[in-house]
Homo-oligomer: A and B are copies of this chain.
């Protein structure tokens, strides 16, 4: 019988196992225009925390006592939809479960680009797309720029590091701990700041000295707060900041006392928030740039993989504990 993770109550702050449960579900009948998919891979992402709240947000809230959903890659096992056949690989939004019956029009049949299909949940999906369009489009990054990226060992951050290096930029990452910093440097970063070792503003100053630069042109922000304030303090004239994440804020923590925001005026800093879906229509141009980088080894990927549908919630909780290096995935 199919199983799905249900939201049983809305988390206060950090989610716990009391908020969710894995339960058997009856799959709907397969009607015209639908496909039955056996999931191979499930994605867990920080934005899902927002969906657990009952508040106005860009993301639709999960309903109480109903299955949650999210990105997944699976294999079609039955189809009543034109253009989909048994055996097709699809990207769809019936995640948080092992099997799903979904409207075919909400699914994307995946092309064989010569790379594993799970990449469409990460490097070739939301993760890589967020990194690419945030860096190249929102932050207008260009060859020669000095780019700072926080959570640089994380899913999006590790892609930003590699895309920036592939495009001829100088990169400073930040990550929690020496091991993660080693990884960040191993994928090409010119310097990495261990934010657990001291105030990030001092770390950034030191990293800039180390690489002989006076400031940053671009900050790809995955965390907000002290990192964002430090980036503004160390920004050059006309710097651009792509605001992508504010993970502490998501779990309802307190306000952050920004000290340097006023410097954005004299430095003419541009800060801009964005959401991947704004760029989804441009994914073909993205595949064209990034698949060759993957095939040539210029861009490498790293996943933290949990096994089995039962492990999905632990994988999700791990996102808020720094337990992942690279994209967090669940293999069913």
Residues in chain A within 8 A of chain B (CB atoms): 50, 57-59, 224, 228, 237, 243-246, 249-250, 254-259, 261-275, 278
A244, A249, A258 pick with most chain B CB within 10 angstroms: A258
A149–B269 CA distance with the chains assembled, in angstroms = 20
Check A273 against B278 for contact (C-beta < 8 Å): no
Q: Would you give 13 A-B contacts (Cβ < 8 Å), ordered by A?
A: A58-B266, A224-B262, A246-B262, A250-B262, A254-B257, A255-B257, A265-B273, A265-B275, A267-B273, A268-B278, A269-B273, A271-B271, A271-B272
In the bound complex, what is the Cα–Cα distance between A221 and B170 (angstroms)?
A: 33
| Contacting residues, chain B, for A246 (C-beta < 8 A) | 261-262, 265
- Asked if B224 and A267 sit within 8 Å, CB to CB, the answer is no
Bound together, the chains give a CA A258 to CA B258 distance in angstroms of 7
What residues of chain B lie closer than 8 Å to A250, measured between beta carbons?
262
With known contacts A255-B259, A256-B257, A257-B257, A271–B267 Cβ distance under 8 A: no
Partner of A268, one of B228, B263, B275: B275
- In this complex, what residue of B is CB-closest to A254? B257
Ranked nearest first, the 10 interchain pairs of A and B with the lowest CB-CB distance are A246-B262, A249-B262, A58-B266, A255-B257, A265-B273, A264-B273, A255-B259, A270-B272, A271-B271, A257-B257
Interchain nearest-CB distance for A44 vs B (Å): 19
List residues of chain B with CB within 8 A of the CB of A275.
265-266, 268
When C-beta atoms are compared, the residue in chain B nearest to A269 turns out to be B273
Tell me which residues across on chain B come within 8 A of A268, comparing CB atoms.
272-275, 278
- Once the chains bind, are A266 and B273 in contact (CB under 8 Å)? yes
The docked-state distance in angstroms from the alpha carbon of A265 to that of B220 is 12
Most B CB contacts (10 A, CB to CB) among A237, A254, A259, A264 go to: A264
Cα–Cα distance between A228 and B271 once the two chains are bound (Å): 13
CA–CA, A13 and B289, complex, Å: 52
Cβ of A243: which chain B residues have Cβ within 8 Å of it?
Answer: 264-265
Residues of B within 8 Å of A224, CB to CB, are 261-262
Apart from A249-B262, A268-B278, what are 19 other A-B pairs with CB-CB below 8 Å? A50-B266, A57-B266, A58-B237, A58-B266, A224-B262, A244-B265, A249-B261, A250-B262, A254-B257, A255-B258, A256-B258, A257-B258, A258-B258, A258-B261, A264-B272, A264-B273, A268-B272, A270-B270, A271-B271
